[in-house]
């Protein structure tokens, strides 16, 4: 909460730069970022309205009115009846947008230029909004908000550190309990329980112990397959703390790795260390990725390829822009936090992954995790 006034100032400056009279923010993480409202019930709609230098407006369901009394929010709250938009399937319906339009009219900006988040607004919602505000103009504000959030405040970095601490507890548990004969699901449940006991938020906990699946898909789920005595095992962990995410990953082996398995693992380690070396303030992200690809290709042994992206910014969402992909023209900036999680494959069935959070500082990259990566 201590940083919200400064955040509002930055948004107002961006609005002035984009010649906007008001913005309507519908992405959940942006609403939380600017109001402190943490969405106790994720199924209920909400939005945040900023007009001029006035107090932000929070439009929520009346079912949240009691919860908001206990939330540390800086916003003026407008509530919407919970049963009038049921035919819209739980999204923001006409009555919701009528309330938002009323807030805009009270602010005197109903005929102004309004910033929206097109990526978090359905066409159906946009048509309703245009009909309610026929004299207003509309412009996408999504990229501007993302850029404002890319550089993390010290308090945000501290929360990501706390989330990383919870994720590390999950990894330590994994190293203790993953043994041949245990199913992927059993191991994953034990790890998730340990993170919950350590203070991780239920909504952000994901523990995936993977030994038999093709791993090119980011969110492969653990199965009831039993871990073998010669399994290459990827442990992929996500945790959140007070809304902020961390993702860590390690690869281990329950026996003796083959040449291909060893090559995939060592390539992931090489990419991770190369990215950390190159991700300095002012460096083009695409150039850092290219350096990591060259380092991976320079290794000896069976052919191995890295799956893109190699990572992304992280914060109130698990995956925030910019992503670490070839050709990216975005720059690393001091204060950005990246989740580096290179996944390397030597075949459809042999893959290794290593993941940590890093903070871009004036002196280079600081790794937020304290766990060793050499687990094979």
pLDDT at 82: 64
Per-residue pLDDT tens for 223-271? 999 999 999 999 999 999 999 999 999 999 999 999 999 999 999 999 9
C-alpha 352/C-alpha 143 separation (Å) is 33
For tokens 């106790």, the residue is: 40
pLDDT at 293: 94
Confidence of residue 14 (pLDDT cuts 50, 70, 90): very high
Per-residue pLDDT tens for 350-374? 899 999 999 999 999 999 999 999 9
- Which among 4, 41, 45, 2 has a CA at the least distance from the CA of 25? 45
Render the burial of 310-327: b for 16+ CB within 10 Å, e for the rest: bbbbbbbbbebebbbeee
Domain residue limits, the chain: 4-150, 154-367
pTM to 2 decimal places: 0.92
Per-residue pLDDT tens for 337-351? 999 999 999 887 889
C-alpha 101/C-alpha 113 separation (Å) is 13
Distances in whole angstroms, Cα of residue 87 to Cα of each of 52, 69, 82, 95, 141? 34, 28, 11, 11, 29
pLDDT at 83: 59
Residue 88 has pLDDT above 90, yes or no: no
CATH 3.20.20.140 applies to domain 4-150: no
pLDDT at 100: 96
pLDDT at 349: 82
Q: Average pLDDT, whole number, for the chain? A: 91
pLDDT at 217: 53
Would you list the DSSP string of 144-170? HHHHHHHBPPHHHHHHHHHHHHHHHHH
Would you list the DSSP string of 313-336? E-SSSSSEEEE--TT---B--TTB
Residue 194 has pLDDT above 70, yes or no: yes
Task: Tell me the mean pLDDT in the region 54-78.
Answer: 81
Residue 64 has pLDDT above 90, yes or no: no
Q: Which CATH number fits domain 154-367: 3.90.230.10, 1.20.1440.20, 1.25.40.20, 3.90.1150.10?
A: 3.90.230.10
Which residues of 90-205 form beta strands (DSSP E)?
A: 113-116, 137-140
Is 211 in contact with 224 (CB distance < 8 Å)?
no
Confidence of residue 213 (pLDDT cuts 50, 70, 90): low
Max avg pLDDT among 24-28, 37-41, 82-86, 87-91:
24-28
Q: Distance between terminal CA atoms of the chain?
A: 43
pLDDT at 357: 98
Task: Tell me the mean pLDDT in the region 110-135.
Answer: 95
Is 254 in contact with 231 (CB distance < 8 Å)?
yes
Task: Tell me the mean pLDDT in the region 143-151.
Answer: 96
Phi and psi angles of residue 50, each rounded to the nearest 5 degrees, phi first? -120, 125
Residue 205 contacts by C-beta under 8 Å, 6 or more apart in sequence?
192, 195, 196, 238, 239, 240
């Amino acid at each position: 909460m201590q940083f919200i006034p400064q955040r509002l100032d930055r948004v107002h400056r961006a609005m002035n730069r984009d010649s906007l009279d008001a913005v309507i923010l519908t992405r959940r993480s942006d609403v939380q970022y600017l109001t402190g409202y943490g969405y106790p019930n994720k199924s209920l709609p909400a939005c945040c309205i900023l007009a001029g230098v006035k107090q932000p407006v929070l439009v929520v369901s009346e079912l949240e009115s009691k919860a908001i009394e206990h939330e540390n929010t800086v916003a003026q709250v407008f509530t919407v009846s919970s049963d009038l938009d049921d035919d819209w399937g739980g999204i923001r319906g006409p009555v919701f947008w009528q309330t938002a339009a009323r807030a805009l009219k009270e602010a005197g900006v109903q005929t102004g230029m309004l910033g929206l988040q097109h990526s978090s607004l359905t066409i159906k919602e946009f048509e309703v909004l245009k009909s309610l505000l026929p004299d207003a103009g509309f412009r996408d504000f999504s990229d501007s908000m993302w850029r404002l959030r890319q550089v993390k405040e010290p308090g945000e970095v501290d929360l990501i550190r706390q989330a990383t601490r919870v994720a590390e507890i999950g990894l330590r548990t994994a190293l203790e309990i993953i043994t041949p004969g245990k199913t992927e699901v059993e191991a994953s449940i034990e790890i998730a329980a340990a993170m919950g006991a350590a203070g991780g938020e239920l909504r952000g906990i994901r523990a995936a112990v993977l030994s038999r699946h093709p791993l090119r898909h980011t969110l492969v789920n653990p199965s009831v397959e039993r871990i073998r005595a010669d399994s290459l095992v990827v442990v992929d962990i996500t945790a959140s703390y007070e809304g902020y995410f961390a993702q860590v990953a390690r690869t281990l082996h329950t026996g003796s790795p083959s040449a291909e398995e060893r090559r995939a693992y060592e390539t992931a380690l090489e990419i991770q260390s190369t990215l950390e070396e190159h991700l300095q303030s002012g460096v083009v992200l695409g150039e850092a990725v290219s350096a990591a690809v060259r380092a991976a290709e320079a290794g000896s042994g069976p052919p191995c390829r890295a799956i893109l992206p190699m990572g992304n910014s992280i914060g109130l969402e698990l995956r925030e822009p910019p992503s670490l992909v070839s050709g990216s023209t975005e720059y690393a900036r001091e204060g950005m936090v990246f989740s580096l999680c290179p996944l390397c494959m030597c075949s459809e069935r042999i893959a290794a992954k290593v993941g940590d959070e890093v903070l871009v500082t004036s002196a280079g990259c600081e790794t937020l995790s304290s766990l060793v990566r050499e687990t094979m």
